[in-house]
Structure 1
Amino acid sequence: MAEQIEFDQAHQTLHEITQALENGRFVHVRRQLQDMEPEDIAILLEASPRKSREVLWQLTDPEDYGEILDELAEDVKDALVSKMAPEKLAEVTEGMDTDDVAYVLRSLPDDLSREVLSQMDSADRLRVEMALSYPEDTAGGIMNTDVITIRSDVDVDVVLRYLRMKGELPELTDALYVVDSSNQLIGHLSLSVLLTTQPDVPVAEVMEDADEAIRVDTKDSDVASLFERRNWISAPVVDENQVLVGRITIDDVVDIIREDAEHSMMSMAGMDDDEDTFAPVFKSARKRSIWLGANVLAALAAASVSNMFESTLEQMASIAVLMTIVPSMGGVAGNQTVALVIRGLALGHIGNSNKKELLYKEAAIGLLNGILWALLIGAIVMLWKGNLMLGAIISAAMLTNLFVAGIAGVTIPIILKKMNIDPALAGGMALTTVTDVVGLSAFLGLATFLIH
């Protein structure tokens, strides 16, 4: 209920600001934006048409630019950043976390990115360049280099005085990292232990060993899985020599989970998960036409099967009426399996040790459902058309296609994953092509052989 209220308020705010912009009440809009949180302004920008978005960006307090850019979808962020001067962009990134600055700079042209980096002070530039040196979808690409390190040979009192001297901690700090003279991670000291331990106790006696550090080249999806299983708030990131290079916090992991979910949902329609809702017509049409072209090829493959049995279709109108049932049922059953397998792959539930058992299970489900629906659809067709042979033919085709759909629903995503092709992007289309071809071939083939 609370979430619904928040969404209703957001839509009401958007409506009020849109009306104010149309009426030229820019001072009123500026005041409203000043009272909004940066993440709410980001949602407002994404929900606004492009012309209104540019005006809103100009009316927004520049001090909030950094936090807003970090919350925006990539297409929207790129459109706004491309119109900012390098020195202004460098100013905006001051105070931002290293991983957030890297997110802003990654999609910029190389020359513009270098110009922005040149405007930063040397310490910030080195941290950002290190983050940019790692692939975006790895722990190194999402980590923050702002960490607090301590030595194991000092007392708790020394650590407490050091923290008081610093005056503040990085956001979401729940532990301090213990390193040696080479900056190698040897353990961590949680804040709860630090605050409840006697001041004269050495850090070495109360710290925990560094047995759960994340390697810098770990995939971001694996990082998210680790945080989910271990209930972490933050975790250290180390290189191949166990040298501490940064940390990852739960807010970054939430972003990964959300982006993965959006990617899976949009990929099933062949669309970019970062696509701007109000992107230019030509740009959106070009992106979508590629997927439509792939689907045309799949449809032509199914149509070519029907064409092979053209003479049968010409002689029996009943077959033409019924021919879509078998492919449709196979497609639905297969896509259920594909969705299950894609989820299992994403969560790490499916591997070499258990994929054979999964294949047997889904094949058995396909066989049982095939028998059930073959008998039911066959009986309906026999009563409807008064043709025992036609009912038997559609029953056999239905059983065959549902059985094949179960097998294909498991094997297609796994094969695509091995080929480094996103199963969410191509799995559904490949499965539909298989079930259409098999379903039509079985139904029309049997009809041609037994009736024609």
Structure 2
Amino acid sequence: MVESVPNEATEKDISALNTALEEERMGEVTRIINGIPGAEVALFLESLPGEKRNAVWDLVDDASQGDVLVSLHDEVRDNLIEGMDTEQLVEATRDLDLDDMADIIVDLPEEVSNQLILSMDKASRELLDQVLSYPEDSAGGLMNPEVVTVRSDVSVEVVKRYFQFRGVLPTPVGDLFVVGRKGHYKGRVPIATLLTCDPKTPIKDIMDEDALAIPAKTPASEVAQDFEHNDWISAPVVDDKNKLIGRITIDDVVDVIREEAERSVMRMAGLNEEGDMFAPILTSSKRRAIWLGINLLTVLMAAFAIGFFEETLQKVTALAILMPVVASMGGIAGSQTLTLMIRGMATGQVGSGNIKDLLGREFMIGVINSILWAVVLASLTAFWFKNWDISVVIAMALAVNLVAGALAGVVIPVMLRRMSIDPAIAGGVVLTTVTDIVGYVSFLAFGTWLLLG
């Protein structure tokens, strides 16, 4: 899926579209909507409620509808597809690139997908089947199977003539990939090198044999890391037998990075990253209700812990006033560590080899911050309540919870990953439960001991 990032030009187009739509100048809407890229049209459609979205969709030229559909989030795309007949869908999607076709064909009605497959030549059908045989979030599912290859035993001049004969090259061009007689990957040739060296130079003399290819089963997140670390514009994809089967380009990787970032943000709130902003109210309510129920259980656990100290709270009301401070500070400290850990896991910077070092580092950070803020909070509490005993209680509890939050921020995502649970989904809830219970129990326990003991 190709998504659009709002920039100044995009925001200007969308602003003009919103104004024209609000003033019911549909001719102006039609002119603008068919003069901007499909990804921008998709972004605008996703910003509209159902009725307006359908009205604008009807104004999109048939020739552009395929590019728009590919760029939409799954749920929005499915809703629009439901309102199109077979002939419209076939016409809109028949000219898509094979990698885009692979993205969308699984969402199309069976009758439409069958017609599209039958309209392809044998070679295209085989290439499409090849892409569809791999998971969507893998290198094989991400690749474009249409790739230009060269042989190592020809000269630069021959390759240039071949390009002139073809007339059109896939974009972005990136590197050229060198294969053997049976299509096995041998290396790559940077396009800049090809254009600047002597025409009589053999390809084998300028190809980089050490440039590794990406196995087709590699997860998309690892593909993105490879592109980042190696500054690639394009990369070859090979099967288990090292046969070149496609290529991945930087525009595909940008989509992966953006989707990963969006997924992390949405999952931390328990939401579906592919959700429609204007999905039916009951549908959205059901999705959020599940997450709210989970959070309610964790809050009840904290309330249950507080219940053990009901007598203490009745006798020392100041503790009830200050109690949320300890839990909140511990939660923030833990969230800082948790965020760093989740990011580190996503980028490959956190692994089994450095967990102990990270644990020690976060422990020391927790200790330093606990001393600093315990002194500050104790001073403020003494000034407020004129009671040094309460100051000591809150200082001790805050120190305990800040350290506990920092350690939990390291341990929780590691444990969740070992249990095959996404830390971005459950980490925040588990962390909040830990820091709330530790904060409340330590604060009330110290209060019972020092003030009522």
| TM-score, length of structure 2 as denominator length | 0.93
Partner residue in 1 for 2:65: 65
Q: Contact 1:271/1:287 (CA < 8 Å) preserved in 2?
A: yes
* 2: CA distance, partners of 1:293 / 1:310: 25
Counterpart secondary structure, 2:235: strand
Amino acid at match of 1:18: L
Partner residue in 1 for 2:348: 348
1:79-158 to 2 correspondence within 5 Å? 79-108=79-108, 113-114=113-114, 116-158=116-158
Greater shift, 30-39 or 347-356, is seen at: 30-39
* 2: CA distance, partners of 1:304 / 1:108: 50
Q: Contact 1:90/1:117 (CA < 8 Å) preserved in 2?
A: no
What's the CA shift for 1:118? Answer: 4.2
* 1: CA distance, partners of 2:308 / 2:10: 54
Counterpart secondary structure, 1:134: coil
Amino acid at match of 2:260: D
Q: Contact 1:216/1:238 (CA < 8 Å) preserved in 2?
A: yes
Partner residue in 2 for 1:162: 162
Partner residue in 2 for 1:208: 208
Amino acid at match of 2:245: V
After superposition, what is the alpha-carbon deviation per residue over 1:310-351, rounded to whole angstroms, capped at 9, x for unaligned? 122122211111111110110011101111111111111111
Q: Contact 1:140/1:237 (CA < 8 Å) preserved in 2?
A: yes
> Aligned residues: percent identity?
42
| TM-score, length of structure 1 as denominator length | 0.93
What's the CA shift for 1:297? Answer: 0.7
1:205-284 to 2 correspondence within 5 Å? 205-209=205-209, 211-284=211-284
Counterpart secondary structure, 2:58: helix
After superposition, what is the alpha-carbon deviation per residue over 1:289-318, rounded to whole angstroms, capped at 9, x for unaligned? 111111111111111111121122122211
What's the CA shift for 1:284? Answer: 1.0
Structure 2 CA distance for partners of 1:268 and 1:45, relative to 1, 3 Å: same
Structure 2 CA distance for partners of 1:313 and 1:116, relative to 1, 3 Å: farther
Q: Contact 1:90/1:119 (CA < 8 Å) preserved in 2?
A: no
1:333-372 to 2 correspondence within 5 Å? 333-372=333-372
User: Any unmatched runs of 5+ in structure 1?
Assistant: none
Counterpart secondary structure, 1:84: coil
* 2: CA distance, partners of 1:153 / 1:275: 51
What's the CA shift for 1:218? Answer: 0.9
Number of residue pairs matched by the alignment: 447
* 2: CA distance, partners of 1:284 / 1:335: 26
Counterpart secondary structure, 1:324: helix
Q: Which residue, out of 5, 19, 44, partners 1:16?
A: 19
What's the CA shift for 1:407? Answer: 0.4
What's the CA shift for 1:417? Answer: 2.1
* 2: CA distance, partners of 1:294 / 1:112: 41
Q: Contact 1:153/1:202 (CA < 8 Å) preserved in 2?
A: yes
What's the CA shift for 1:104? Answer: 1.2
* 2: CA distance, partners of 1:63 / 1:267: 35
1:388-403 to 2 correspondence within 5 Å? 388-403=388-403
Q: Contact 1:377/1:391 (CA < 8 Å) preserved in 2?
A: yes
Greater shift, 136-145 or 99-108, is seen at: 99-108
What's the CA shift for 1:364? Answer: 0.7
What's the CA shift for 1:362? Answer: 0.5
What's the CA shift for 1:201? Answer: 2.7
* 2: CA distance, partners of 1:109 / 1:5: 37
Find out whether 1:291 has 2:273 as its counterpart: no
Amino acid at match of 2:372: L
* 2: CA distance, partners of 1:33 / 1:359: 53
* Two-structure CA RMSD over aligned residues (Å): 2.0
Partner residue in 1 for 2:3: none
Structure 2 CA distance for partners of 1:253 and 1:111, relative to 1, 3 Å: same
User: Any unmatched runs of 5+ in structure 2?
Assistant: 1-5
Partner residue in 2 for 1:34: 34
After superposition, what is the alpha-carbon deviation per residue over 1:44-83, rounded to whole angstroms, capped at 9, x for unaligned? 1111111111121111111111221222222212222233
